[in-house]
């Protein structure tokens, strides 16, 4: 390898030498004149020739040399016919007008053995040397890649800028991580007390909830090296490569302890072993085995903490979750209203917001949004402000950004026919009337008939209070009734039904089945009939045995139909009782295309979206 580097070092000098030689030859050639026989003889007669070389060929004599003109020497070339008369005449006149020592006669057929050898051997040597150089380079690079193939793909970051102040909406999770930071800063404190800090911490949560950001913040607060890798980076086509990468990663980590290893999407390598149709995956299972061995091989309080993230903890191998490995599990949940406001404040630091924007109200309108969704809302609003050539982000920009995140960009160029526009307006108005008058239904914040994505229109509805885990039977029934409101409005007002309710029916049926199969909210009693159908392993899904009889399956279908039909009749009663209100909403939607909660309140109270002016006393 050193010889190759030395050879490469000589290449620039060789190139420069060739360039200089070429330039010199070019400059010499540019000062050489091609003379006719008459011009040449005239210069000889005038005694201007300084030196001359005669090359005696068979038919012509090539004449080269230098002559003087106005005290300046110039080169020349000329040709003279090689006849006896001309040759004698040329030799005679040159001897009379040119100094004797400046006349040279060259035999072109005299062999120069050294030059012949060099012209044959040198090109061959150059070609062989170039071929050897290429082969050496190819072998060297392939060998290097062969060695690097089994190296760890973990990226080392030693100067993390992220801090806990950059992470919002997960205060309890940060409290759990505080002792890990203290341990990484001074592991000897815990060793003196006989405490054993968990080697592995598993962070579980929906996509976009900030698991990776929280892990970086821990490394940033502790100011330790941060190894980051995805579970998919371990697994390759060749068996044994993943295990080798795991060994190399832990070897590096032990050399830089205290440090932190972050494995994102660990379910890619940590799935339960032996599952799937026809057995497991040898490479993935060997990689998992090596990961388990390396975690067991870390001495207590060595200063190495492993944090892994996944949104599928149900498919992980039980050996990963036992004490001594990933023995602490932290759930990173979707943020509540206060958390969403804090996240918006973090991401709004570098945004120019209008003074009338209330981030608290914006947080109330975005239930179920993750941190990534909220960051995307502010980014989309900033893009819309730039597109509109505004200096600040307005509330209209944020309102449109929420709609874009939920349903995609508005298709303003798509035009409804009058019949289709009335159908969509009636459908969305039906959802709105249920949301307004049903006690346990969600609050309608906005309704629009502007198409977005696959939807012709949509209702933005938010719960009255943030609910993290539990829903009552009344709330589920109200949700089903609200979903069926659009279909009921089409039937009662237009006398026909459309395909627009397909997604509503799908969601309503799913909720009704869950009430019967999972939640025990039917006349079948407090029995759970649902099987474990969410497992992703093909071998278990391929043969999915029911744990109930065909008679019970018939009763389940009857109960699901009973729930749907009951909610359908409830929606009919509400819409029939508020028919005038529904017609007013349809009229305003056709005219304005979008209505806010304030507009709907005015329609309920005054019959129109605009509140009447209060007459002065």
**What does the block give as tokens for 186?**
């001074």
CA torsion angle for 571, 576, 577, 580 (degrees, to 10)? 120
| Spatial CA neighbour of 287 closest among 232, 326, 338, 335 | 232
DSSP string for 358-390: -HHHHHHT-TT--HHHHHHHHHHHHHHHHHTT-
Q: Which residue has the tokens 């129109």?
A: 608
Catalytic residues: 428
Sign of the Cα pseudo-torsion (586, 591, 594, 600, in order): negative
33 forms beta bridges with 76
- C-alpha 281/C-alpha 271 separation (Å) is 10
Residue 426 · residue 489 · CB < 8 Å: yes
Q: Which residue has the tokens 């330790």?
A: 224
Burial class of residue 383, CB neighbours in 10 A (0-12, 13-18, 19+): middle
DSSP strand E in 144-250: where?
155-157, 200-205, 226-230
The partner residues of 52 in beta bridges, in order of sequence, read 65, 103
Per-residue CA distances from 588 to 331, 426, 432, 445 (Å):
45, 11, 13, 16
In this structure, are strands 32-34 and 72-81 parallel, antiparallel, or unpaired?
parallel
SS3 assignment, position 484: helix
Angle subtended by helix axes 473-489 and 502-517, to nearest 10: 160
Find out whether 273 and 285 touch, Cβ atoms under 8 Å.
yes
CA distance 315 to 506: 27
Handedness of CA 307, 313, 315, 318 (dihedral sign): positive
List residues bridging with 241 in a β-sheet: none
Beta bridge partners of 199: none
């Amino acid at each position: 390898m050193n010889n190759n580097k030395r050879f490469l070092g000589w290449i620039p000098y060789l190139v420069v030498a060739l360039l200089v030689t070429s330039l010199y030859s070019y400059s010499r050639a540019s000062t050489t004149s091609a003379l006719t026989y008459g011009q040449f003889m005239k210069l000889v007669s005038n005694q201007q020739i300084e030196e001359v070389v005669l090359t005696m060929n068979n038919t012509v004599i090539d004449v080269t040399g230098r002559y003087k003109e106005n005290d300046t020497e110039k080169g020349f070339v000329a040709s003279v016919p090689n006849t006896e008369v001309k040759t004698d005449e040329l030799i005679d006149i040159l001897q009379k007008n040119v100094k004797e020592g400046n006349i040279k006669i060259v035999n072109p057929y005299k062999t120069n053995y050294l030059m012949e050898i060099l012209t044959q051997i040198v090109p061959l040597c150059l070609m062989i040397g170039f071929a050897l150089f290429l082969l050496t380079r190819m072998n060297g690079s392939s060998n290097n890649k062969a060695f690097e193939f089994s190296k760890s793909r973990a990226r080392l970051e030693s100067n993390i800028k992220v801090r806990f102040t950059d992470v919002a909406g997960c205060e309890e999770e940060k409290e759990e991580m505080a002792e890990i930071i203290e341990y990484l800063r001074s592991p000897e404190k815990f060793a003196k007390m006989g405490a054993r800090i968990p080697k592995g911490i598993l962070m579980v949560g929906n996509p976009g909830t900030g698991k990776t950001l929280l892990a970086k913040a821990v490394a940033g607060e502790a100011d330790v090296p941060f190894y980051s890798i995805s579970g998919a980076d371990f697994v390759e086509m060749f068996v044994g490569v993943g295990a080798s990468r795991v060994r190399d990663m832990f070897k590096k980590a032990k050399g830089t302890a205290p440090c932190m290893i972050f494995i994102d999407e660990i379910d890619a390598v940590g799935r339960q072993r032996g599952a799937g149709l026809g057995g497991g995956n040898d490479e993935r299972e060997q990689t998992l085995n090596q990961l388990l061995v390396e975690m067991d091989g870390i001495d207590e309080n060595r200063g190495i903490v492993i944090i892994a993230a996944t949104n599928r903890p149900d498919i992980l191998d039980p050996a990963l979750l036992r004490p001594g490995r990933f023995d602490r599990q932290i759930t990173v949940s979707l943020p509540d209203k206060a958390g969403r406001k804090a996240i918006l404040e973090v991401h709004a630091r570098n945004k120019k917001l209008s003074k009338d924007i209330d981030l608290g109200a914006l947080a109330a309108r975005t239930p179920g949004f993750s941190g990534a969704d909220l960051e995307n809302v502010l980014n989309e609003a900033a893009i819309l402000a730039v597109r509109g050539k505004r200096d600040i982000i307005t509330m209209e920009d944020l309102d449109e950004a929420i709609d874009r995140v939920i349903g995609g960009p508005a298709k303003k160029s798509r035009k409804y026919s009058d019949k289709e526009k009335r159908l969509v307006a009636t459908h969305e108005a039906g959802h709105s009337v249920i949301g307004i008058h049903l006690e346990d239904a969600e609050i309608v914040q906005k309704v629009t008939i502007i198409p977005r994505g696959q939807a012709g229109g949509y209702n933005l509805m938010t719960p009255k209070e943030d609910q993290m885990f539990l829903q009552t039977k009344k709330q589920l029934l109200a949700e089903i009734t609200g979903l069926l409101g659009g279909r009921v409005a089409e039937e009662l007002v237009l006398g026909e039904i459309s395909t627009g309710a397909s997604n509503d029916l799908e969601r309503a049926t799913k909720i009704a089945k869950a009430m019967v199969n999972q939640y025990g909210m039917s006349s079948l009693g407090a029995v759970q009939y649902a099987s474990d159908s969410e497992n992703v392993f093909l071998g278990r899904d391929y043969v999915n045995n029911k744990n109930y009889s065909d008679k019970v399956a018939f009763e389940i279908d009857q109960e699901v139909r009973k729930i749907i039909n009951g909610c359908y009749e409830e929606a009919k009663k509400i819409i029939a009782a508020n028919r005038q209100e529904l017609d007013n909403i349809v009229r305003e939607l056709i005219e304005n295309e979008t209505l806010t909660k304030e507009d709907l309140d005015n329609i309920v109270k005054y019959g129109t979206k605009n509140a009447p002016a209060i007459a002065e006393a």
